Amino acid sequence: MNRRVFTTLTLTAAGLFYCNAALAITINPSEATSKDTFGYQFLPAMNLNGGGFGGFLPAGATTTGHDTKSILEFDLTGVGVTSAQVASATLNLFVIDTVATGFGISPSPGSPITVNLSALTGSWDESTVAWGTIPASGAEYDSLVISGINQTVSFDVTQLVKDWLDTTVTNNGLVLEGDAPVGSSPNWVYAVFGSSAGANVPALIITPVPEPSTVVLALCALPALAWAAIRRKNRQS
């Protein structure tokens, strides 16, 4: 391949990647500004947003009263996009070992667990909410099969973010729950995600429909202009 052609194609691909990737909006608040915690069925009145429990977000179902579910809320105030401008949105969570929780066992290829993500139907206070006061789950928006730890998993929350932005659904956050019991007592399987108090914080990533500024448009157009110039020069030579 002609070296100039190869260079131009490379610049074109890089320019397109830049123009699309540069627009992503990442919301991953620190512990001080975040809102995430979990509830434990066995302790229905206990708030678990501290006391050694604040670093993880477990989700799992049992038949013995030891279910857990985690709740998160992201502030979309000033996010700068409308519902129609959202191309995609994902919730990225890091799966950690259940050793951090002191109960249950981790998911594995032989014992995977399905986690459902749904909207919450009511407001809640991170410092006081407990299993018995977690708002009811609303519509389910995504479901993932977790079969390992020490990895980042991504829930598709595109429609949920759209619904929040156009107020079809009030932004009370979301809940993560085990779909069905996996394992047996006392070795129930839980998916445990890192919270905002840990090293791998939850992240909501919103990718808007590309609407580049004039400067970005110019940058994106440069590879195409270079390609046209080479073709014109080749025809004249």
Domain residue ranges of the chain, discontinuous segments joined by +: 1-23+211-231, 24-209
Encode burial over 10-31: b for 16+ CB neighbours within 10 A, e otherwise.
Answer: eebeebeeebeeebeeebebee
Least confident of 14-28, 30-44, 120-134: 14-28
CATH class assigned to 24-209? mainly beta
- Of residues 228, 146, 232, the one with CA closest to residue 192: 146
What tokens appear for 153 in the block? 């998993």
Reading the block at residue 105, the tokens are 């066992």
Report pLDDT digits (tens) over 156-193: 999 999 999 999 999 999 999 999 999 999 999 999 99
Spatial separation of the C-alpha atoms in residues 95 and 104, rounded to whole Å:
14
Is 231 in a helix, a strand, or coil? Answer: helix
